[in-house]
């Protein structure tokens, strides 16, 4: 697939990094193991970690589609299969249904689904899981990992964000780490974006991926939460619809005030 130069408004950034599947600038001062993410024209592997089927799609489906359209490899690593989402349905049946929904959504976004084997509503953050998920992530050799922001009302989302953060630290920051938001104000909290991706042209495709999660009341979830969120982040970024991220860079000098 031909790679395109990013349109000026494709990615509105406040940091020194470029995203949007087009170019990744060198990570100044970071113990970055690989040089591949410094090459603007190199194929990247993007891994999006989510607690449940649907989290990556709702949180950053537009950005992931943008990456895959640009010729990059995208993997969704779901921590669980969402097996606890309906008390009237057995875990086994719900896991089967939600796995199928995730597979359908991934096809729409041209992503590859993987499942990490934890249990919905009972995810674990401990030494064993830190090692297991860290190994799974590194085995994928990601250039960039997107994960849920850990300050969230849902315990599974907290666990997901912290597992990613721990893997990033333990790997000597071998990949770029971005956090994404879901249901901000209800689930994600304290989210102050550093970067925005214009998803205006990808809204319908993202919507189709979200609506593939038929067991999750996608129409109301979209209308009540994600449609206004895309538009709110779009207003902040000066475009019609955007997804917002926190680029986690502990070493970066954050003072960007002119004159300091």
For Zn ion, the binding residues (CB under 5 A) are 51-52, 55
Q: How many angstroms separate the CA atoms of 129 and 112, rounded?
A: 22
First to last CA, the chain: 43
CB distance 141 to 45 below 8 Å: yes
Smallest separation (angstroms) from Zn ion to the CB of 259: 43
Query: Which helix H or strand E contains 28, and what residues bound it?
Result: none
Q: Which residue is nearest to Zn ion (CB)?
A: 52
Residue 87 Cβ vs Zn ion, minimum distance, rounded to whole Å: 17
Of the pair 10, 243, the CB lying nearest Zn ion is at: 243
CA 108 to chain centre: 16
Nearer to Zn ion, 22 or 109 (CB): 109
- Least distance CB 159 / Zn ion (angstroms): 11
Closest CA to 73 of 37, 34, 126, 98: 37
Q: Smallest distance, Å, CB 33 to Zn ion?
A: 30
Q: CB of residue 98 vs Zn ion: minimum separation in angstroms?
A: 11
Q: Which is nearer to Zn ion, 32 or 52 (CB)?
A: 52
Nearest distance in Å: CB 58, Zn ion = 8
Toward Zn ion, which CB reaches closer, 51 or 229?
51
Hunting for tokens 């031909």 — which residue is that? 2
What is the chain's alpha carbon radius of gyration, rounded to the nearest angstrom? Answer: 17
Go through 19-57 and write b for each residue having 16 or more CB atoms within 10 A of its CB, e for each that does not. bbbbbbeebeeeebeeeebeeeeeebbbbbbbbbbbbbb
154 vs 207, beta carbon nearer Zn ion = 154
Signed CA dihedral, 204, 210, 214, 219: sign only: negative
Report which DSSP code applies to 23.
-
Taking the least distance from each CB to Zn ion, the nearer of 68 and 148 is: 148
């Amino acid at each position: 697939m031909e790679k395109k130069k990013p349109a000026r408004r494709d990615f509105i950034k406040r940091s020194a990094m470029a995203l949007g599947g087009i170019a990744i600038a060198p990570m100044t001062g970071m113990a970055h193991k690989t040089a591949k993410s410094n090459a603007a024209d190199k194929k990247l592997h993007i891994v999006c970690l989510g607690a449940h089927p649907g989290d990556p799609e709702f949180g950053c489906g537009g950005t992931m589609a943008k990456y895959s359209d640009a010729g990059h490899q995208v993997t969704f690593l779901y921590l669980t299969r969402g097996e606890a989402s309906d008390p009237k349905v057995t875990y086994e049946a719900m896991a089967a249904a939600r796995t199928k929904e995730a597979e359908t959504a991934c096809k729409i976004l041209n992503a590859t689904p993987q499942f990490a084997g934890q249990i919905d509503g009972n995810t674990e953050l401990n030494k064993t899981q830190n090692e297991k998920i860290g190994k799974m992530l590194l085995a994928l050799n990601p250039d960039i990992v997107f994960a849920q922001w850990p300050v969230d009302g849902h315990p599974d989302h907290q666990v997901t964000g912290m597992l990613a953060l721990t893997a990033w630290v333990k790997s000597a920051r071998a990949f770029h780490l971005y956090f994404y938001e879901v249901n901000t104000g209800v689930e994600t909290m304290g989210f102050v974006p550093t970067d925005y991706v214009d998803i205006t042209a990808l809204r319908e495709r993202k919507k189709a991926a979200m609506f593939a999660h038929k067991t999750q009341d996608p129409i109301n979830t979209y209308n009540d939460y994600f449609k206004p969120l895309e538009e709110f982040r779009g207003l902040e970024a000066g475009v019609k619809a955007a997804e917002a991220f926190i680029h986690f860079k502990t070493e970066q000098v954050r003072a960007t005030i002119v004159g300091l």
